[in-house]
Amino acid sequence: MPDTTHPVHVEEGRGFLRLRLSRPGRYNAIDTATLVALIEALSGANRMPVPLLLEGDGGVFSVGADIPELSRFDAYAATAFSHLGHQVVSALEAWPGVTVARLSGYCLGSGLELALGCDLIVARADVRIGLPGLAWALMPCLGGLRRLSVRLDRAHCTDLFLGGEVLDGTQAHALGLVDRLITTDEDAEALARDNREWSASAVAAIREMRLNRHGLIDCGIEADLFAESFASGECQRRLKQLLGS
């Protein structure tokens, strides 16, 4: 029987590798254990020059970082979480094949930051996409703001971050945040298979040209900024209010 307690599942598809966030009872919220599992899944024996399809279980990509875990963080734990998240997204960007994020349900906060590490983002029209964390003193912590600027202009980046705007799939596609709208899971699988002939060196070259638009991401500075509101206690206070505790 499959391991239903593991937060990440790896499956071989026809011509691609499927990587699934698998915490459906928590809407695939990203906690430390999920980040560790993602690093393991993106390295070692799984690292093959084939397309990678990243998706979530239960009809949801991810609602973002795990709020109960974050509410218990101090500044040190917040810094470590951010560094770990940067390792995950960097591993996605170093994958030797084309990477495709298939968004469904909700793709929020750290979930969106994770998806932005992929070469292609596809989504259903009714998906909800955004970075709503500022209301709880949460900064993006996986390099998402810089990667967002590769796809969106400054005004729309500001709307998503400072304005807390949440887009549906059709809006995100019109702005260029989503590369393609899909109606079935098979559409995403077909796209992954269609990109299986690219060589690892070609994928790396195209990716480097695209990512150079945002310049170097300093994960140390971003981790420090993410930790600031934890150091003051402001983030924990707001998150505990959200949780009703």
- The DSSP code sequence of 3-54 is -TT-SEEEEE-SSSEEEEE--GGGTT-B-HHHHHHHHHHTSGGG--SS-EEE
- Of 145, 79, 73, the residue nearest 112 (C-alpha): 145
pLDDT at 115: 98
pLDDT at 46: 74
pLDDT at 215: 61
pLDDT at 3: 45
pLDDT at 9: 96
pLDDT at 216: 63
User: What CATH topology corresponds to 8-243?
Assistant: 2-enoyl-CoA Hydratase; Chain A, domain 1 (3.90.226)
pLDDT at 144: 87
Amino acid code (one letter) for 122: V
List the Cα angle 80/83/84 in 5-degree steps. 85
pLDDT at 196: 87
pLDDT at 197: 81
pLDDT at 162: 87
Tokens describing residue 216: 């170097």
Instruction: With beta carbons less than 8 A apart as the criterion, state whether 17 and 52 touch.
Output: yes
SS3 at position 55: strand
Domain boundaries, the chain: 8-243
- Of 26, 37, 91, 86, the residue nearest 225 (C-alpha): 86
Tokens describing residue 231: 């150091």
Q: Rounded to an integer, what distance in angstroms lies between the CA atom of residue 237 and that of residue 245?
A: 9
Q: Can you give the three-state secondary structure of 92-131, one letter per residue?
A: HHCCCCCEEEEECCEEECHHHHHHCCCCEEEECCCCEEEC
pLDDT at 183: 94
Tens digits of pLDDT across the chain (245 residues):
344 479 999 999 888 999 999 999 999 999 999 999 999 999 876 788 899 999 999 999 999 999 999 999 999 999 999 999 999 999 999 999 999 999 999 999 999 999 999 999 999 999 999 999 988 999 899 988 888 988 998 889 888 888 889 999 999 999 999 999 999 989 999 999 998 888 888 888 888 877 776 566 777 788 888 999 999 999 999 999 999 97
